[in-house]
Structure 1
Amino acid sequence: MSPAMSIDDRERFLADPHVGVLGVTDPRGLRAPLLVPVWYGYEPGGVVSVLTARASTKAELVRTAGRFSLCAQSESPPYRYVSVEGPVVAVEDGLDRAEWEAMAHRYLDRDTAVAYLEANRRQLDEDITFRMRPQRWRTADFAAFAQEFS
């Protein structure tokens, strides 16, 4: 049995709140790709959105490459992951306040999100949003394998 997820399952999994790992080519010499944990947004059938500091290495490399990868995984058994990669289809300078607030509430409990947003208001002017259209998917759901060992 293949551990690959169905299209619906992979899109629902990616839409759930997981910390993603963004990967982007690093052409600055003999380095491996840059891999960094990120908060991200995704709705099934849509684009992956990542908000980051305009002046960050990550932003510079994504701009140069014009594409990136993102991997999200479950942290406990049975393990599952979804990895997507594709082209950047939009770069928005500055942040949309509603999207920024929704992202904070996606990853933090209510009180922590409110405190985070209050302490980081400067992000609205200092950050940018990258939007990536998933082009290639890699997935695995090891639940079927886990049942064999139960």
Structure 2
Amino acid sequence: MSVREREEFLAGTHIGVLSVPDGRAPLLIPIWYAYTPGGDVRISTSSGTRKYDLIRTAPAVGFAVQQEAMPYRYVSVDGPVAGHEPVDPAEYREWSIRYLGPEQGERFFAAVQDDLGGWVTFRIRPERWRTFDFGKEFT
């Protein structure tokens, strides 16, 4: 994929898979995320969890998204955790609607918004990219 294609694909709505070092084997976690071309991948999680502790102390993490229908495609990045800050409830509401649709997203957000005070958003800086577009292999 070209730089533009890979960034547009990563900016699409997919469930991401985060890979975080955890001793002998990495912890792999399906997760919602946000990405704007040229920026950092943003993920949110509750503090006080194993996932939070691992991400906070990891020197680098991996992150991948895929398209499961033909033509199969994926984008995988890895890089350092560039920082973290408290979750922005407005942004998390947008994510809820993005992933669940307007009605279900609003209901989900209403159910979790009071708990977001203990959540953080991590920023992952993509340094190494791997991509594949199955459709390009046969054109």
Which interval holds the TM-score relative to the shorter structure? over 0.9
TM-score by length of 2: 0.95
Give the C-alpha shift of residue 32 in structure 1. 1.0
Q: Equivalent residue for 2:8?
A: 12
| Aligned sequence identity (%) | 46
Deviation larger for 138-147 or 112-121? 138-147
Q: Equivalent residue for 2:129?
A: 137
Equivalents in 1 of 2:51, 2:76: separation in Å? 18
Q: Equivalent residue for 2:18?
A: 22
TM-score by length of 1: 0.88
Aligned-partner residue type, residue 133 of structure 2: D
Equivalents in 2 of 1:144, 1:42: separation in Å? 24
Equivalents in 1 of 2:21, 2:59: separation in Å? 10
Are 1:72 and 1:81, in contact at CA under 8 Å, matched by a contact in 2? yes
Q: Equivalent residue for 1:85?
A: 78
Q: Is there any run of 5+ residues in structure 2 with no aligned partner, and where?
A: none
Give the C-alpha shift of residue 122 in structure 1. 2.6
Q: Equivalent residue for 2:54?
A: 61
In the alignment, structure 1 residue 44 sits paired with structure 2 residue 40: no
Alignment size in residue pairs: 139
Cα distance change, pair 36–145 in 1 and its aligned pair in 2 (3 A): same
Aligned-partner residue type, residue 86 of structure 1: G
Equivalents in 1 of 2:16, 2:115: separation in Å? 20
Equivalents in 1 of 2:114, 2:130: separation in Å? 36
Give the C-alpha shift of residue 68 in structure 1. 1.2
Aligned-partner residue type, residue 68 of structure 2: E
Give the C-alpha shift of residue 74 in structure 1. 0.2
Structure of higher CA gyration radius: 1
Q: Equivalent residue for 2:111?
A: 119
Give the C-alpha shift of residue 66 in structure 1. 3.3
Are 1:41 and 1:50, in contact at CA under 8 Å, matched by a contact in 2? yes
What is the alpha-carbon root mean square deviation over aligned residues? 1.2
